[in-house]
Structure 1
């Protein structure tokens, strides 16, 4: 696999997974390298290049966290301060928790907030304020600080903190704090700021596997801080180099003290059996690959996927974006990242082998696990286990916008210590873990950093 050049590998992956457009950027040996293949849109095609803007989904979060840290450096925010110091109107059903949650807990996903809200709070400048108001109806999944569980809500709240601290809209603040000083000229949130540039649209496969253009291009404005950025691989390499260069721009200007950059890359809370990381830093997923420490984040949108991985000790970064779903882009991105680690650094990642099938244990873990938006269905047929991830039917029915299709059923196997691994499909290689109560009964699972509580037992 490593004998390919970067352009050759990108072309091969795009062809193998039938992805309309793929764009990759690499920073290695003090040089930037780019390779792109395919088109922005199968209905109105333009060639994809390093400046083509893709919807990044959760790869937005490192940009939001970077802005927060700039405000910390300026003395306008404190990480350990309660959120209510900056957003006094923040309310939850649990009043004590609302008073206790800190800014830092939003950034490392330990606030106990659920994954996200299903409500759309519009596209006005009050979208984040309205999103925060809706949190008054959102129950916690755990006590603040008790555990990590990936939360879009937490980053929406962090975005509102940025608005309060700067007196600007979140989007304008991000432009002033991050985009402009780093020269990220192909990064934006609003359609009017994107439409005059080259941008990719998402594509999803229908029942006959034929791709079609998605009509819901990106998430609503209330989710911008955690998932609404539209950016290019070249701009994300600029962001990666900023974090590799100890908070300095490519022109040498210090925007963020080196100690704060390093703080973002230090473990704050452990993640059990997650392929995404061994721990959360400040926003970043921290993961050791074959003895090498990596810092990164992934993201998914409707028919679009993005990945950003940094290796600080080797002054290396790779960014990949693709525009096909529901699982082909995700799988292709993961293969590009693995290839880049091997090709440029000689770092090879090995997935663990599942345990032999155990009928009793398979029956114990089978069932439905859910959060506010999604269900994970684990099933056994007496000889193997499958996993299916899908949006709750009532959530899909209540939405007045097009939502991403559900992931196809995939195989998965069990690992020691109540862990598991997906062994096929777009989530191939993704690991997770089950949670038990004090009596030993399984009460939930973690996958992709998110907690899903067990609802039923179904074999």
Structure 2
């Protein structure tokens, strides 16, 4: 173990112990060398040591697989990004959505105007994505297609259905053929039957007494596989980062996608406002400048499991962080690891903006309840500051047949300088998250953006 790897291991172990995270796997590519730090166990109930090949549910980092697989079909001339989605998914049609206006490219940069996520479970059969597309066609748009970015799991699940219809295979089998097999991502999969034959981590959440319990729902239902259902390891995700830093060839030298299309995923397609996730979307990737250095990345969350992948193309650098405790601990741990890696390997320091002193009048203006299809945000004006609570809507939780992730407890939120209605969460699992409030034509607060998602105000 090198001196740098020893320092990484010590930092990861100390942070995991401080935050109460049972297991974590970290991988770093720097200067052409790979560094790994693994700590703790896969489960507090049935513990096995976490290693670089341990499978974690990587949540929305899965979207990078879906987008790249779809671009392989674009490269082969089988899909046109400028074409309407209906060309490839004829079942995506209905009176509730201007379905004919949504283009394939808009699914990959979250500008289709679709909701974040459907609460419906369409089962575990091979028709899961087809049924999801039919239900999605009956939903209402948040905005007109192309009007703005709003992060959409549902949109990526629809992209998965394009892959199915074009290849004539299930989404999972198609991604295996298009990406996992040629790139040697042997620890990456979607199906429970594939994951359970290997070492894998389970999620953990806190009970009412603060004790860690194993999350009984391991991953989301099948229709959410394209948007958030992949299982992968630190070693596989570092191999995945190497591929995106390369020229579209596999380790064996076989080209599977053009360098132009692969690197084009890093090009800005739509600007983001006041988002910690990024300054803009490329194709799937969040584009973010940190201390003057351009990065691309994606994060993901599941039921008590969290994943982060950040790549710095100009420095040939990547960092992966996987952890297995919620609701706050894993988010906080991953954020600390990514920041530590950037600073200690690249000398790049990420700093959060300082919020303004508490203003009761501004706090009263933004306080209230904001919702989307799945989630409810509660902003409360206390005597000494604002707080934000993030919860699954009670009706969604009551209707669920399986365990859902716990709600995030209220965390302090500060407003930022200027007249742009921007804010930052200053502590907890959402600590460091930035966003903004939107106003209607009359100038009243009508919505809030958090983690790239639009939540409408409930009046």
Q: Verify same fold: TM over 0.5.
A: yes
**Secondary structure of the corresponding residue to residue 408 of structure 2:** coil
In 2: Cα distance, 1:123 partner to 1:221 partner: 5
Q: How many residues align?
A: 454
CA contact (8 A) 2:356 2:415 kept: yes
**Secondary structure of the corresponding residue to residue 452 of structure 1:** strand
In 2: Cα distance, 1:80 partner to 1:9 partner: 46
Partner in structure 1 of residue 142 of structure 2 = 141
Partner in structure 2 of residue 427 of structure 1 = 430
Where does structure 1 lack aligned partners over 5 or more consecutive residues? none
CA contact (8 A) 2:5 2:35 kept: no
Give the deviation of 1:60 after TM superposition.
0.3
In 2: Cα distance, 1:384 partner to 1:41 partner: 38
Partner in structure 2 of residue 294 of structure 1 = 295
Give the deviation of 1:92 after TM superposition.
4.0
In 2: Cα distance, 1:199 partner to 1:9 partner: 23
**Secondary structure of the corresponding residue to residue 5 of structure 1:** helix
The structure 1 segments of at least 4 consecutive aligned residues displaced by more than 4 Å after TM superposition are: none
Partner in structure 2 of residue 63 of structure 1 = 65
TM-score normalised by structure 2 residue count: 0.97
Partner in structure 2 of residue 25 of structure 1 = 27
In 2: Cα distance, 1:365 partner to 1:229 partner: 37
CA contact (8 A) 2:58 2:231 kept: yes
- Give yes or no for the alignment of 1:408 onto 2:409: yes
Partner in structure 2 of residue 128 of structure 1 = 129
In 2: Cα distance, 1:309 partner to 1:3 partner: 18
In 1: Cα distance, 2:424 partner to 2:194 partner: 41
Residue 450 of structure 1 is aligned with which of 439, 445, 453? 453
**Secondary structure of the corresponding residue to residue 36 of structure 1:** strand
Partner in structure 1 of residue 83 of structure 2 = 81
Where in structure 2 are the equivalents of 1:322-401 lying within 5 Å? 322-401=323-402
**What do the CA deviations read for 1:168-193 (whole angstroms, capped 9, x no partner)?**
00000000001001000000111110
**What do the CA deviations read for 1:250-301 (whole angstroms, capped 9, x no partner)?**
2332221111112100111111100000000000000000110000000000
In 2: Cα distance, 1:450 partner to 1:405 partner: 19
In 2: Cα distance, 1:370 partner to 1:92 partner: 24
- Between 239-248 and 44-53, report the one with greater CA deviation: 239-248
CA contact (8 A) 1:369 1:453 kept: yes
Where does structure 2 lack aligned partners over 5 or more consecutive residues? none
CA contact (8 A) 2:372 2:455 kept: yes
**Secondary structure of the corresponding residue to residue 178 of structure 1:** helix
TM-score normalised by structure 1 residue count: 0.97
CA contact (8 A) 1:86 1:161 kept: yes
CA contact (8 A) 2:96 2:138 kept: no
In 2: Cα distance, 1:337 partner to 1:251 partner: 30
Q: Aligned-residue CA RMSD in angstroms? A: 1.1
Give the deviation of 1:438 after TM superposition.
2.2
Where in structure 2 are the equivalents of 1:269-280 lying within 5 Å? 269-280=270-281
CA contact (8 A) 1:436 1:444 kept: yes
**What do the CA deviations read for 1:91-128 (whole angstroms, capped 9, x no partner)?**
24345x20010110000000000011111001011110
- Give yes or no for the alignment of 1:102 onto 2:81: no
